[in-house]
């Protein structure tokens, strides 16, 4: 047995041939601890924003400028996987668990929009409905009329509809394609219109109370072989500034609810809201289905970029249909001259 100096000056009494003692320096242990703490701090810093987002989105607590931000929830849901992968790579168990729960919650509310679900079994006629925001009449009228002609559109709703836009559409043949209408053309952005291949009765205009005072033309469309359908061109106030958020909520709350035991209703237009906004989800809860969501096209962007700003597209144009109406498909079409894209929904109505 060797008697040598061991760690910290203690005698080394181990048998001959035994590996020498490993000396761990206090400074080395301290550096190791600092590295672990740094990795943990990095993971928590990456996880916290997604946790905050989920805490706003899931219970519908968006307020003030957060209303605009919440429109980008699908992008955040995809990005929430990054903190999870980071925590797993750095072997930080606590942040990994929180990141996994957060990512699961966000993906769970967004991913179903890309998956179609079974429509109700109905045997009535098929109706093709197109909605388009014309950006104060600046949208290319020829493109819009071509869409109506090529896709055999039966019902068209327009927002930001001006007298000049109406005249140009008819000059290009819309009056022959969709001869029945109830229109409220106005200069600037407030106007709206409803066109149809079939008779339109009981027409009227709903005036929103928001800052811009957008109008909503509506009427009852009589499709042969189906019950009458009340169709409205929707355009509530935009939450473009904090002082407009109250108008936005008021206008969305004033939208006509579905009538599950009454007449069929369709709301189509620029809702200035996505499925991640609580007021729109509340409206859906009255008995509507979002057509794009039902068709698995709920993540197709319909607005943006605006004025050339590098804003990723968000889905604020919708076709909401009575749950008794089957959705057969939804497509989004570019509309030159407008910052919005047209939304075309193929619907099947109940039989009369």
Q: Are the C-beta atoms of 73 and 50 separated by less than 8 Å?
A: no
Task: State the SS3 of 238-274.
Answer: CCCCHHHHHHHHHHHHCCCCCCCCCCEEEEEEECCCC
Q: Which residues contact 150 (CB under 8 A, 6 or more apart)?
A: none
Question: How far apart (Å, rounded) are the C-alpha atoms in residues 342 and 352?
Answer: 29
The answer to whether residue 30 sits within a structural domain is yes
pTM of the model: 0.89
Q: In this predicted model, what pLDDT tens digit does every residue of 217-237 receive, in sequence order?
A: 999 999 999 999 999 999 999
Range of the domain at 66: 26-113
163 and 302 part of one domain? yes
Does residue 8 lie within any of the structural domains?
no
Residues 107 and 125 in one domain: no
Could you tell me if 4 and 11 are in contact, meaning their C-beta atoms sit under 8 angstroms apart?
Answer: yes
195 shares a domain with 50: no
- Which range (13-22, 55-64, 104-113, 340-349) has the least confidence? 13-22
Q: Which of 75, 93, 113 is the last residue of a domain?
A: 113
Separation between Cα atoms, residue 67 and residue 55, nearest integer Å:
14
What are 174's two structure tokens? 């819309």
Region 253-261 average pLDDT:
96
CATH code: domain of residue 228: 3.60.10.10
Looking at the fold, whether 106 and 162 belong to one and the same domain comes out as no
In a domain, 15, yes or no: no
Q: Is the peptide bond before 305 cis (omega within 30 degrees of 0)?
A: yes
Residues 108 and 57 in one domain: yes
Domain count, the chain: 2
Alpha helices (runs of H) in the chain, residue ranges in sequence order: 26-57, 66-70, 73-79, 81-89, 93-110, 141-150, 163-171, 174-177, 245-253, 278-284, 291-295
Decide if 275 contacts 281 (C-beta within 8 A). Answer: yes
* Residue-wise pLDDT tens digits, 100-146: 999 999 999 999 999 999 999 999 999 999 999 999 999 999 999 99
Name the token pair of 351.
């039989």
Shared domain check, 151 and 46: no
């Amino acid at each position: 047995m060797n008697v040598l100096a061991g760690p910290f000056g203690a005698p080394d009494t181990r048998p001959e041939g035994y590996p020498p003692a490993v000396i761990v320096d206090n400074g080395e242990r301290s550096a190791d601890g600092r590295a672990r703490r740094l990795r943990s701090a990095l993971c928590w810093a990456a996880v916290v924003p997604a946790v905050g987002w989920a805490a706003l989105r899931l219970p519908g607590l968006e307020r003030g400028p957060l209303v605009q931000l919440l429109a980008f929830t699908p992008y955040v849901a995809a990005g929430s996987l990054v903190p999870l992968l980071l925590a797993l790579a750095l072997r930080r168990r606590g942040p990994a668990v929180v990141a996994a729960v957060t990512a699961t919650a966000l993906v769970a509310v967004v991913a179903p929009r890309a998956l179609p679900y079974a429509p109700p079994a109905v045997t009535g006629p098929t109706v093709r409905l197109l909605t388009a925001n014309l950006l104060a009449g600046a949208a290319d009228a020829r493109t819009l009329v071509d869409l109506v002609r090529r896709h055999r559109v039966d019902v068209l709703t327009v927002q930001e509809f001006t007298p000049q836009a109406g005249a140009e559409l008819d000059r290009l043949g819309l009056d022959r394609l969709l001869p029945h209408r109830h229109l409220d053309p106005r200069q600037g952005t407030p106007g709206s219109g409803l066109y149809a291949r079939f008779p339109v009765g009981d027409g009227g205009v709903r005036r929103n109370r928001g800052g811009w005072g957008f109008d909503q033309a509506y009427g009852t469309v009589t499709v042969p072989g189906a019950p009458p359908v009340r169709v409205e061109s929707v355009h509530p106030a935009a939450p473009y500034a904090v002082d407009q958020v109250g108008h936005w909520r008021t206008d969305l709350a004033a939208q006509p609810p579905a009538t599950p035991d009454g007449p069929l209703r369709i709301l189509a237009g620029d809702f200035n809201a996505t499925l991640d906004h609580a007021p729109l989800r509340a409206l859906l809860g009255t008995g509507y289905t979002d057509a794009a969501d039902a068709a698995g096209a709920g993540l197709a962007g319909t607005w943006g970029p605006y004025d050339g700003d590098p804003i990723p597209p968000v889905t604020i144009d919708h076709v909401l249909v009575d749950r008794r109406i089957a959705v057969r498909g939804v497509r989004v079409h570019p509309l030159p001259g407008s910052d919005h894209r047209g939304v075309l929904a193929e619907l099947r109505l109940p039989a009369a």
